[in-house]
Structure 1
């Protein structure tokens, strides 16, 4: 029997980094022009959250739920499975996460007021990072922008944006369950990228740690308790 202690994480990666990043290039080309629409929708949700619109949480969670379904079916099932045999088994988890977000969206009515707590500002910042800054990482790490990962099309920014939006909601059983999958995926992605010796591994790792920490902050920051009709 093989000595499992002799194996390293990179021994389980059955594809080259070049093949991995090429997937996103092909994925983006196949789904164009969905990218501008996704960025426009992300900008709209961010603007609603900054303006204190009660609809920001519900619309944002519904949008992200659609994104989890799209990533599960179009990326994991149709594309990532071509180089990673585990991908088809991840797809049902992404579909289940979409259901959780839709359930959370039914009660995600934010208070009609501007952001005033660190937890809320941190959530919006994480959401905006997932939509607008994470897609620019190829330029940072010397890859073409055609390999950009966009929320709603790729798993990492979808998970990161979800973490951010959940930080706008009060802590509860449903929001806690909804938090688990994106945190877990960010850690899995960080481990995969680290095994490929990719510096970008720090991005999902930091997002998981920051998102979980911000979500866990107590629901205070201005000395006053919320009285808005928020339930999750």
Structure 2
């Protein structure tokens, strides 16, 4: 028997990169034309912080909750679990994130957009319009792209964007998207994928921005709320 230090990370992978990418190809074919409303939902998420309507935050939380629920069932539990036994637990985590979004953002109304949501909007636009293009540039076929609302990676990044556009940092909603950035990045890194850096970079940048806001912004946020500013969404 070989010693443990002779193994590479790829030796512990439960599936081959070809199988992993083929799974997305079959999934995209099965859910067509679901990609069209998925892109529309992504566009709505990018627009809501700019509109500054009173119900914008609730609507964004509702959209994200639906997306996390769909990814949990439509991809993780139904498809990814066929090649990775841990996907069932991942699906439960995604359901948990959806419930948090409903409780905090929809029912609680505590996800309100700030006056300077541009960094968050940039994250959302990246997840919806740019991130799906990175896969083909890294060697996948166009049939294997991962789209917001259908695949976990861009859904997690877009969620971070919405949270960064919010008036206050809601750490309870950050945990699972950040965790997925680590898990998804580790999976791609194990497969030696050229785009393995994307998720960890997005998660790290989002965490840095959120920490900076938490350190510099509490007093200003409290002042805004004490003046009874209108709900920005």
TM-score, structure 2 as length reference:
0.86
- Consecutive unaligned residues of structure 1, counting only runs of 5 or more, are none
Match of 2:224 in 1: 226
What RMSD over aligned residues (CA atoms) do the two structures have, in Å?
2.4
What does 1:145-184 align with in structure 2 at a 5 Å threshold? 145-171=142-168, 175-184=170-179
Match of 1:19 in 2: 19
- 1:7 offset after TM fit, Å? 4.0
Pair 1:197-2:192 in alignment: yes
> Is the CA contact (8 Å cut-off) linking 2:127 and 2:157 kept in structure 1?
yes
Closer/same/farther in 2, CA of residues 153 and 3 from structure 1, 3 Å limit: same
- 1:229 offset after TM fit, Å? 5.0
What does 1:104-143 align with in structure 2 at a 5 Å threshold? 104-105=104-105, 106=107, 107-108=109-110, 110=112, 115-116=115-116, 120-143=117-140
Match of 2:74 in 1: 74
> Is the CA contact (8 Å cut-off) linking 1:109 and 1:230 kept in structure 2?
no
What does 1:90-105 align with in structure 2 at a 5 Å threshold? 90-105=90-105
> Is the CA contact (8 Å cut-off) linking 2:185 and 2:200 kept in structure 1?
yes
Return the alpha-carbon distance in structure 1 between the equivalents of residues 53 and 45 of structure 2: 9
Please give the per-residue CA displacement for 1:98-117, whole angstroms capped at 9, x wherever unaligned: 00111121314536x7x43x
Structure 1 SS opposite 2:159: helix
> Is the CA contact (8 Å cut-off) linking 2:111 and 2:167 kept in structure 1?
no
Return the alpha-carbon distance in structure 1 between the equivalents of residues 94 and 111 of structure 2: 24
> Is the CA contact (8 Å cut-off) linking 2:75 and 2:151 kept in structure 1?
yes
> Is the CA contact (8 Å cut-off) linking 1:170 and 1:230 kept in structure 2?
no
Return the alpha-carbon distance in structure 2 between the equivalents of residues 6 and 56 of structure 1: 53
Please give the per-residue CA displacement for 1:81-103, whole angstroms capped at 9, x wherever unaligned: 11111111211111011001111
Match of 2:202 in 1: 207
Aligned residues: 223
- 1:12 offset after TM fit, Å? 1.6
Closer/same/farther in 2, CA of residues 230 and 81 from structure 1, 3 Å limit: same
TM-score, structure 1 as length reference:
0.86
Return the alpha-carbon distance in structure 2 between the equivalents of residues 193 and 24 of structure 1: 14
Structure 2 SS opposite 1:205: helix
Return the alpha-carbon distance in structure 1 between the equivalents of residues 2 and 76 of structure 2: 30
